[in-house]
Amino acid sequence: MTKYDSWISGIKDELSFWNKWFKYKGKLDNNENDFSWEYEERIKPVSERKFEYDYLIPNNANVLDVGSGCIPLYGTKSDKLKELICSDALAIGYNIILQYYGITDRSIKFAMTEYLNSKFSAGQFDLVICKNTLDHQFNPLNSILNMLYVCKPNGKVKLIHNINEAENENYKGFHQWNICVKQDGIHIWNKTTDYNISDYLINSNLADVIIDKSKTNYQLEFTLINKGAKVNSLIHIPDERDILIEALISDKVKQETISILNSN
């Protein structure tokens, strides 16, 4: 099994979740998981919904939301925000779902977090948001380096994640990594690998690491302050094989989405 197989096996489940979320207006699994309150908020026009991270950005800011999902919770209502780009590896499927359900005021840009450097320019964004997606990556360390690459010097990378999600989800589908705080810093780990992110970023002089909020056994929020170091030599540059894998993933996402919607 390659590093991609488990992730690819989760594509159908993720797309099916969003189809059900729209179809039943946030009520899933016979109402056992009721997201109806969230549904009503998310389908509002993005221009009417507040951008909740104003406190992290300067005036006229460019912001990237990586792994945004089909329909992010926050909008673009802000006096400081110039542009908000939402990106996701499942963008092709998400855009089809949005159109199917008549959501026309937004779209998702295709970008795999490991390869942001092939989609965006160095230092393009004042803020990069990563919410409940780092645990989904093939290579979370390279994903973090890519986020720093597209972030301006002294810009911020905001990460919000459920603690140890892979363990909680039994390493099913997209959930391949855990994130938590240990005595020596923030760790991203699974059954075979353990990255001390705090130690690596600080000792490499890449970023300051600030833990914003930790809810025991639930959620961890932390912010990286980009120190402007050159990360080009540290990140993986997509090669022909990577580009082929991107194309194959996009095609599978499209076909799965069409199949799911045709079954409605």
- pLDDT tens profile 176-234: 899 999 989 999 999 999 999 999 999 999 999 998 866 656 889 899 999 987 887 78
What per-residue confidence (pLDDT) applies to 32?
Answer: 58
Residue 181 belongs to some domain of the structure = no
Q: Which of 35-44, 144-153, 211-220, 227-236 has the lowest mean pLDDT?
A: 211-220
CA neighbor of 173 nearest in space, from 6, 14, 2, 3: 6
Residue 67 is part of which domain span? 5-161+205-262
pLDDT of 143 > 80? The answer is yes
With a CB cutoff of 8 Å and minimum separation 6, the contacts of 93 are 11, 15, 253, 254, 256, 257
With a CB cutoff of 8 Å and minimum separation 6, the contacts of 236 are 114, 115, 139, 142, 242
Q: Which of 3-17, 46-60, 78-92, 220-234 has the lowest mean pLDDT?
A: 3-17
Mean pLDDT of 41-67: 93
The DSSP bridge partners found for residue 34 are 27
Residue 59 belongs to some domain of the structure = yes
Q: Between 107 and 5, whose confidence is greater? A: 107
Residue 170 belongs to some domain of the structure = no
Task: Give the pLDDT confidence of 85-118 residue by residue, as tens digits.
Answer: 999 999 999 999 999 999 998 899 999 999 999 9
Q: Report the interhelical angle of 240-262 vs 11-23 (nearest 10°).
A: 40
Residue 169 belongs to some domain of the structure = no
Please give the structure tokens belonging to residue 234.
């540290």
pLDDT confidence tier of residue 29, bands split at 50, 70 and 90 = low
Mean pLDDT of 159-169: 92
Mean pLDDT of 34-41: 80
Phi, psi dihedral angles at 40 (to 5 degrees) = -60, -35
Single pTM value for the model: 0.92
- What CATH number is given to the structural domain containing 154? 3.40.50.150
Domain count, the chain: 1
What per-residue confidence (pLDDT) applies to 100?
Answer: 97
Residue 172 belongs to some domain of the structure = no
Residue 190 belongs to some domain of the structure = no
Q: Is 36 exposed, middle or buried (0-12, 13-18, 19+ CB in 10 A)?
A: middle
Q: Roughly how many angstroms between the first and final C-alpha of the chain, as a whole number? A: 32
Residue 90 belongs to some domain of the structure = yes
Residue 188 belongs to some domain of the structure = no
Percent residues over pLDDT 70 in the chain: 95
CA distance linking residue 125 with residue 224, whole number of Å: 13
Q: DSSP class of residue 257? A: H
